[in-house]
Amino acid sequence: MPQKLVMTLSPAATEKYLAIMSKQTEAEVNADCEPSGAIIQVTFDHIFSSADLVTGSGYIDLGNVDVDLVDCDFSSD
């Protein structure tokens, strides 16, 4: 059966991401700019997985990421 890789941010990481991005997006919209969006870099190895928010000035650690292989039926996608 085919599988897909599912990466899930923790509730704390999600809250941190949303706080940062909502502030950034609001500032861009208020400056009459199109919101720039975000890049999230996920690193995983045999011990742990983590995510960083990539910004113009560096990386912001978002914390751990759960990584799972999930069986799926691609005929319904």
Residue pLDDT, tens place only, 12-26: 999 999 999 999 999
**Residue 12 has what pLDDT?**
92
For the chain, the structural domain boundaries read 3-70
State pTM to two decimals.
0.75
Query: Distance (Å, rounded) from C-alpha 68 to C-alpha 20?
Result: 26
